[in-house]
Amino acid sequence: MRVFPAADFARFFPSLLAIALVLAFSGCARKELPDQTSSNAQLYVARCGQCHAPYKPHTMTADMWRAQLPMMEDKMRQAGLPPLSDSDREQILDYLTANAGHQ
């Protein structure tokens, strides 16, 4: 194993840090939600965006979204937010599962 002297590391550190930051933030770029003009997408953004930036639907499978939504509803109750109506829940879940990722 080759060991680099501290002077060499210090010289290259700013470049390595810049590369690491570019790679890290490239994954955080804001990409638009699928079908964002639909009423289901707008409802998802309005209701779920009250507490956090809406997640991209493809980040979870349909089954994962079905499990996640009730957990988020518990957090909404704890935060004192109005609960989802049955219709809102269905529309949000329809949007998320229609645009969900596949494993």
Residue 49 lies inside a defined structural domain of this protein: yes
Residue 103 lies inside a defined structural domain of this protein: no
Residue 58 lies inside a defined structural domain of this protein: yes
What is the tens place of the pLDDT at every residue in 9-42?
567 666 655 565 544 554 444 568 999 999 999 9
Tokens coding 52: 């956090």
Q: Which domain holds residue 80?
A: 39-98
Q: How many residues does the chain have?
A: 103
Residue 53 lies inside a defined structural domain of this protein: yes
Residue 1 lies inside a defined structural domain of this protein: no
Residue 15 lies inside a defined structural domain of this protein: no
What is the tens place of the pLDDT at every residue in 62-102?
999 999 999 999 999 999 999 999 999 999 999 999 999 99
Q: How far apart are CA 33 and CA 99, in angstroms?
A: 9
**pTM, 2 dp:** 0.69
Residue 23 lies inside a defined structural domain of this protein: no
Which three-class secondary structure state does DSSP give residue 74?
Answer: helix
State the total domains in the chain. Answer: 1
Residue 21 lies inside a defined structural domain of this protein: no
